[in-house]
């Protein structure tokens, strides 16, 4: 590891810890709540950063695993009442689902384009299926699926195996932030390992990796499953955060958002997608809140969050195609060399 | 007599109406060096793809040390000891030279041992000076050597080289010929090449392909003087 990498790690760790410790002390509860969801979504962004940015697998349906995790947690906790097993299930179910789906995709040698189409279709099928479960006959145990109304009043996580010690709102902030930090460093370690180098090699040239004796199908499947497990875990946290989950979690908008976070933050980076995710969510919230009703002209344009986000996305694709983090790294690298 | 390493029996490959490889019976001994020549479209590259599992034959079989490998996926064939340098360099374009070699070495060794293979290979194929550079940014000749290093780092028993000297300067061709002879001290090789000068430098037995089938098999000088070969292949080269 080079000195620059080490410095980056220390900075990232210190910044993470600072946010973790200082935020609840200095900010109001509603800010803490907003930050909590940013952290959760950043975990989701990291899951796609791994699968797409490093594994080279453009999954348009990362929200399928996110939604499955959220729904699994909701259904399991309503039935079980204690959150340890539901939490684990919210990771396990999406992972198994991804293993089955990925097996057919990768071992069937389906091309990259169709992989995008299939994953997108799967998440839309889930959206439509769950969306049409409004009647009382659709229930799993005690949990009614609720169709487009979703499942409200999801019981919160509790301390492991201690049903009477629920995690409060501030606790959720700590848990989400700590999860983000752990996932970030966990992925750094994974990518520094033999496995990590091999998946990057496969992304660079699948044929060459195969001719050297690596089975790309197995490595891609493993990457896909790890990504799904992380997305599922983020989904569990999300269901906790709002105590609510609805089918829009599987929708096209949600799927597209995750991809935008990674494009803006940069493929082939981990810190980039975190910043891209938090930055864009903050911007969306700010734009939405600052648009006065009935405003015309410039204010109306600025208040139109999808329009501004679309412009940002186009600007990034055209002007900063590598994304935020790799471009900044290139610039600082050049400056250091110029000295 | 040395032991048989590779054998094909009645090997054939048909793409729709085109018979790219037809009924090829080919035998290669352990540590033998064989050159494969023939006009464009003679089926040489398809033959290589059949040997490495990138294509599955429509008829016949490939035997490696007596074991039928013709239905095995490419990664398993690679693990059995066949390495290939393709015509257009197949390398990890976005990674550095060192990372390219490490990915190859890591398949057969761990930790420090893999690192030692990388250092050894950097020196052997002569790309030590550009070890930290991204392979996609290197000159064509250097990328050819990087790929050769990548192939050799897994220590295969049989090395397939598809036009290793293509697009190289005269000096680079000489070095590549030296390298091929050095590799041949421990490994068997099959070299596809159009450059007859290069084939003379590395010597060895020559198999001539024409229209997907083996036309003739002999040593270099006999091939050069063979009227049929001159007619289908060398004559065209001389006229060009």
Q: What is the pLDDT of residue A292?
A: 56
Residue B21 lies in a domain: no
Q: What is the pLDDT of residue A325?
A: 85
Q: What is the pLDDT of residue B22?
A: 94
Tell me, yes or no, if B84 comes closer than 8 A to chain A by beta carbon: yes
| Contact predicate B79/B29, CB 8 Å | no
Q: Which residues of A touch B110 (CB under 8 A)?
A: 194
Mutate to test the interface with A, among B90, B117, B158 (most CBs of A within 10 A): B90
Burial class (CB in 10 A: 0-12, 13-18, 19+), B195: middle
Q: Which residues of A touch B154 (CB under 8 A)?
A: 212-213
Q: Is the CB of B107 less than 8 angstroms away from the CB of A210?
A: no
What value, to the nearest 5°, has the Cα angle with vertex A262 and ends A312 and A267?
Answer: 115
Angle between helices A62-80 and A252-265 (to 10 degrees): 120
Quote the CA–CA distance of B136 and B130 in Å, as a whole number: 12
All structural domains of chain A with their residue ranges: 10-142+161-248
Q: Which domain holds residue B113?
A: 89-155
The β-bridge relationship of strands B205-210 and B213-219 is antiparallel
What value, to the nearest 5°, has the Cα angle with vertex B211 and ends B205 and B214?
Answer: 30
For residue B13 the two structure tokens come to 């490959």
**Highest averaged pLDDT of the listed ranges A283-287, A313-317, B99-103:** B99-103
Q: In total, how many domains does chain B have?
A: 1
User: How confident is residue A24, by pLDDT bands cut at 50, 70 and 90?
Assistant: confident
| Contact predicate A252/A62, CB 8 Å | no
**In this predicted model, what pLDDT tens digit does every residue of A241-297 receive, in sequence order?**
999 999 999 988 888 889 999 999 998 889 999 999 999 998 888 877 655 555 566
Residue B199 lies in a domain: no
Q: What is the distance in angstroms between the Cα of A207 and the nearest Cα belonging to chain B?
A: 8
What average pLDDT score do residues B43-58 get?
A: 95
Q: Is the CB of A210 less than 8 angstroms away from the CB of B93?
A: no
Helix (H, G, I), strand (E, B) or coil at A184: helix
Burial class (CB in 10 A: 0-12, 13-18, 19+), A142: exposed
Q: Quote the ipTM score.
A: 0.92
**In this predicted model, what pLDDT tens digit does every residue of A159-182 receive, in sequence order?**
998 888 999 989 999 999 999 999
Phi and psi dihedrals of A223, rounded to 5?
Answer: -60, -45
E strand or H helix at B118? helix B111-124
Q: What is the separation, in whole angstroms, between the first and last Cα of chain A?
A: 22
Does pLDDT of B231 surpass 90? no
- Nearest by CB: B95 against A194, A204, A210: A204
Q: What is the distance in angstroms between the Cα of B154 and the nearest Cα belonging to chain A?
A: 7
Mutate to test the interface with B, among A201, A212, A221 (most CBs of B within 10 A): A212
The pTM for the full model equals 0.91
A201-230 residues touching B, CB cutoff 8 A: 201, 204-205, 207-216
H-only helix segments in chain A: 3-26, 29-48, 62-80, 84-107, 112-131, 169-192, 194-204, 206-212, 216-242, 252-265, 271-290, 297-303, 305-319, 324-338
What value, to the nearest 5°, has the Cα angle with vertex A296 and ends A290 and A297?
Answer: 100
Q: Is the CB of A205 less than 8 angstroms away from the CB of B83?
A: no
Residue B4 lies in a domain: no
């Amino acid at each position: 590891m080079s000195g620059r990498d080490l410095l980056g790690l220390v900075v990232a760790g210190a910044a993470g810890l600072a946010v973790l410790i200082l935020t609840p002390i200095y900010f109001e509860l509603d800010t803490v709540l907003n930050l909590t969801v940013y952290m959760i979504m950043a975990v989701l962004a990291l899951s796609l950063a791994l699968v797409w940015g490093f594994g080279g697998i453009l999954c348009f349906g990362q929200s399928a695993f996110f939604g499955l995790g959220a729904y699994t947690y909701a259904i399991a906790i309503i039935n079980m009442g204690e959150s340890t097993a539901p939490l684990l299930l919210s990771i396990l179910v999406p992972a198994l689902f991804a293993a089955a789906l990925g097996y057919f995709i990768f071992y069937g040698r389906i091309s990259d384009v169709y992989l995008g189409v299939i994953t997108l279709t799967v998440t839309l099928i889930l959206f439509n299926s769950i969306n049409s479960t409004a009647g009382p006959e659709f229930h799993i145990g005690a949990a009614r699926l609720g169709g487009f109304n979703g499942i409200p009043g999801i019981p919160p996580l509790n301390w492991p195996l201690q049903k009477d010690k629920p995690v409060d709102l501030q606790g959720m902030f700590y848990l989400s932030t700590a999860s983000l930090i752990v996932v970030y460093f966990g992925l750094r370690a994974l990518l520094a390992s033999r496995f990590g180098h091999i998946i990057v090699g496969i992304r660079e040239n699948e044929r060459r990796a195969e001719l050297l004796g690596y089975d790309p199908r197995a490595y891609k499947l493993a990457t896909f499953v790890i990504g799904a497990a992380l997305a599922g875990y983020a989904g569990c946290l999300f269901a906790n955060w709002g105590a609510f989950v609805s089918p829009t979690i599987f929708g096209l908008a949600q799927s597209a958002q995750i991809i935008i976070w990674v494009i803006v933050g940069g493929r082939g980076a981990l810190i980039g997608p975190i910043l891209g995710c938090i930055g864009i969510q903050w911007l969306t919230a700010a734009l939405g809140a600052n648009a006065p009703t009935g405003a015309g002209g410039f204010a109306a344009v600025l208040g139109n969050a999808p329009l501004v986000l679309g412009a940002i996305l186009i600007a990034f694709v055209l002007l900063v195609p590598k994304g935020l983090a790799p471009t900044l790294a290139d610039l600082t690298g050049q400056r250091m060399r110029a000295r | 007599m040395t032991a048989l390493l590779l054998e094909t029996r009645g090997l054939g490959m048909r793409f729709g109406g085109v018979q790219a490889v037809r009924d090829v019976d080919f035998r290669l001994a352990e540590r033998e060096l064989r050159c494969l020549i023939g006009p464009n479209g003679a089926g040489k590259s398809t033959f290589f793809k059949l040997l490495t599992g990138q294509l599955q034959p429509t008829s016949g079989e490939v035997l490696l040390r007596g074991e039928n490998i013709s239905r095995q996926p490419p990664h398993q064939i690679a693990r059995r000891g066949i390495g290939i340098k393709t015509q257009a360099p197949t390398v990890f374009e976005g990674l550095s030279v060192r990372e390219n070699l490490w990915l190859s070495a890591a398949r057969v060794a761990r930790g420090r041992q893999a690192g030692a293979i990388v250092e050894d290979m950097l020196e052997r194929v002569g790309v030590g000076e550009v070890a930290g550079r991204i392979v996609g940014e290197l000159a064509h000749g250097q990328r050819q050597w990087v790929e050769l290093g990548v192939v050799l780092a897994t220590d295969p028993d049989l090395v397939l080289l598809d036009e290793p000297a293509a697009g190289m300067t005269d000096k680079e061709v000489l070095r590549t010929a030296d390298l091929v002879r050095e590799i041949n001290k421990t490994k068997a090789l099959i070299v596809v090449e159009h450059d007859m000068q290069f084939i003379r430098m590395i010597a060895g037995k020559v198999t001539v392909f024409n229209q997907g089938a083996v036309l003739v098999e002999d040593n270099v000088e006999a091939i050069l003087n063979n009227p049929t070969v001159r007619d289908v292949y060398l004559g065209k080269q001389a006229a060009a």
